[in-house]
Every structure is written in structure tokens, then in C-alpha cells.
Amino acid sequence: MIKKAILLMCFAGVGVNAQTITQTFGSGANSFSMDFVQIGNPGNAADTTGSPKPAGAVSYVYNIGKYEVSRSMVDLSNQAGGLGITMANMINSGGNGPLKPAVGVSWNEAARFVNWLNRSKGYHAAYNFTSNGYNDNIGLWGSGEYSGNNQFRHKDAYYFLPNVDEWYKAAYYDANKNGANNGGYWNWPTQSDQEPVHISEGYVGAVTGGQAGPADINLAGSLSAYGTMGQGGNAWEWNETSLDLTNDDPNENRLRRGGVYYGAGYGLESSNGSWSRSPSDETDVSGFRVASVPEPSAVSLLAVGLGGLAMMRRRRS
């Protein structure tokens, strides 16, 4: 009965602009909160007009950070977990305020932050670090430890970096774009097919075009249909996914999405998705956000179920 209820929850549609889910990490003086929104409408069709082609199809319900990870979140996790994550000094580019996005963080460092989130809640680590160097590359998980073909992410992890489809769906998909419950993709992560207007701070347009530095994470432009902020402009965001989309080589470049505060608006567009950097790169324009699955075992179960349905359809055709 429990598994059946979980499956029903995963198949149920979740409306756009979902309610914010707040989760707290750490303790005492080192505690901080992170807001998530739920990305529903499982089994949505992929976008075949953006980059990569196709992208955005996700068969399960998951959560994603409403905002980018802030500098204060990284500072407090460093103190609580001794992570040793470094960030870029942005004193001449908008400042190092606590609500500024955590830029200058490599993919490897972002993955260590995510692993600490998991451990602090008693969950399995998402990424398989085999050495203690703060910017060392991960190893691959072995057979039976990962789901599908994604050898980077452990199947029992609760928190993780969003893969390209999870990130893309949260940014561009709108279940009601073509009429109620029809679904479709916007060209920009601002619920629009028109290039967003540059802003300095606020809730209209996107933070791009000659800015002195990134905006605070809660002032980073218009919301996506699901209610995420800052997936357009402000900071490039690490995706879990490697450049060739296979996630089978820890040394391969990782995708970054979403554009940057000083860039042009086209960098935010769904068709502009070929940006990548080494997982150890610490450029001062790269940040990240965190994703999670409401119930990891339910997602694995759902993936098996959907795979079985697909196989049955193939046999009938």
C-alpha cells in the first residue's frame, strides 16, 4: 500500500508556481535554510527545439532550489562540516554579501556541498569522492549503485546537482503554456518567448548586460513557471551532466546553463546550452543550485515502472 501511494504521488500532476518547501541544515550558529519548489507533471514531453535536443523530459517528481546557493550557505556549511570550499572574492564586482550567489565554486566543490547536505540529514552521499582533496574529481559508482546510465549520482541520494533535463524543465517548461494541462517550453526562463529586459535588481526581466556583479539570489529577476529565480542571468549554474551527456567519465567537462550577469540575453535562451567547463574550474561567474527527490526509492520504482510500460508499448507496436 505504501509503494502504491508513493507511485500515485509521483504520477500526480503538480501545478506551476508550486508552494515553497523550506528545509534547514546544520545546527546552532551554523544553521541555514534553503527554499525548494516542487517540479511536477512527470512524464512531460521533451523539448526538441532547444539545446541539447531533446531536453527537459523527466519521468518523476523532484524538488529544485528556488534560488541559487548563496555565499552564506557555503560559509556555514564550511564551518559545520569542515568542507574547505573556496569562493571568488567579488569585492570589486558587486561585493561579497551573504545573499550573493556562491560563485568561484567548482563542480567538484558544489558536489562536496551536496554530499554534506545528504550526510547532515542521514542520507547517502550523491557523489563518490575517493580522495580528500577539496577540488579532486569524483569516481564512478559501481554496478547496482546508480540508476539508469548516470554513473555520477548514487541511486539513494536525496540531494544532488540537477542534471541537464531536471535543470531545463525547471527553467523552461510550463504545464499550461499551450492551454490548461497541454504543456510546452518557453524560450527564456522568465515565462516568455521574448528576450528578457535587463534589470539591475528586482522581479522583472533578468540580471544581464553590463552589471557590476551578480544580484542577491532573491532579487535575481523574473520567475520561471515553476517559481524558480535566477535560472536566467546572474551566474552560470553547474549541471550534473557531462558535455557528451553520458556521465561515464569523471574528468569530462560539465555543462553550465543560464547565462551570467554581464552577458547578453541570448545566453539565457533554451537553445544556448553548449557551455561547459572542467569540473575543477573555479571561475568567478559559476554558481549552482541544489535539487532533491521527495523519495529516492519511489523514483527508482517509478523509473522501472515507466521502463516496463515503454517495453510493453514496443512489443505491441
Each residue of 208-247: pLDDT tens digit? 777 789 999 999 999 999 999 999 989 999 999 999 999 9
| CA angle (126, 141, 83) in 5-degree steps | 40
- Least confident residue range of 115-124, 141-150, 307-316: 307-316
Q: Respond yes or no on whether the N-terminal peptide bond of residue 250 is cis (omega within 30° of 0).
A: no
Question: Residue 16: what pLDDT?
Answer: 55
Q: What are the beta bridge partners of residue 22? A: 35
* Position 200 confidence tier, pLDDT thresholds 50, 70, 90: low
Mean pLDDT of 255-271: 90
Cell readout for 302 is 517509478
Q: 222, 203 in Cβ contact below 8 A?
A: yes
Residue pLDDT, tens place only, 63-89:
999 999 999 999 999 999 999 999 999
Q: Count Cβ atoms below 10 Å from residue 76 Cβ, excluding itself.
A: 18
Q: What are the beta bridge partners of residue 254? A: 242, 277
* Position 164 confidence tier, pLDDT thresholds 50, 70, 90: very high
* Residue 165 DSSP one-character state: H
Residue ranges of domains in the chain, CATH in brackets:
2-316 (3.90.1580.10)
- Note the Cα 285 to chain centre separation in Å: 16
CA–CA distance, 140 with 193 (Å, rounded to integer): 39
Question: Residue 295: what pLDDT?
Answer: 60
CA–CA distance, 75 with 52 (Å, rounded to integer): 34
Mean pLDDT of 260-274: 87
Question: Residue 191: what pLDDT?
Answer: 95
What percent of the chain has pLDDT above 90?
A: 74
Phi first, then psi: give them for residue 46, nearest 5 degrees. Answer: -75, 155
Against a cut of 0.75, is the pTM above it? Answer: yes
CA–CA distance, 154 with 108 (Å, rounded to integer): 15
* Position 273 confidence tier, pLDDT thresholds 50, 70, 90: confident
Q: Per-residue pLDDT for 316 more than 60?
A: no
* Position 27 confidence tier, pLDDT thresholds 50, 70, 90: very high
Write the CA distances from 155 to 99, 144, 242, 292, integer angstroms: 31, 8, 18, 12
What is the Cα gyration radius of the chain? 19
CA–CA distance, 131 with 267 (Å, rounded to integer): 35
Question: Residue 82: what pLDDT?
Answer: 95
Residue 269 identity: E
The candidate with the shortest Cα–Cα distance to 159, out of 112, 107, 117, is: 117
CA–CA distance, 66 with 45 (Å, rounded to integer): 23
Inter-residue long-range contacts of 247-253, CB under 8 Å, 24+ positions, other chains counted: 247/149, 247/150, 247/151, 247/152, 247/153, 247/163, 248/140, 248/149, 248/151, 250/137, 250/138, 250/139, 250/140, 250/152, 250/279, 251/137, 251/279, 252/279, 253/277, 253/278, 253/279
Q: Per-residue pLDDT for 155 more than 70?
A: yes
Question: Residue 156: what pLDDT?
Answer: 97
Mean pLDDT of 294-311: 44
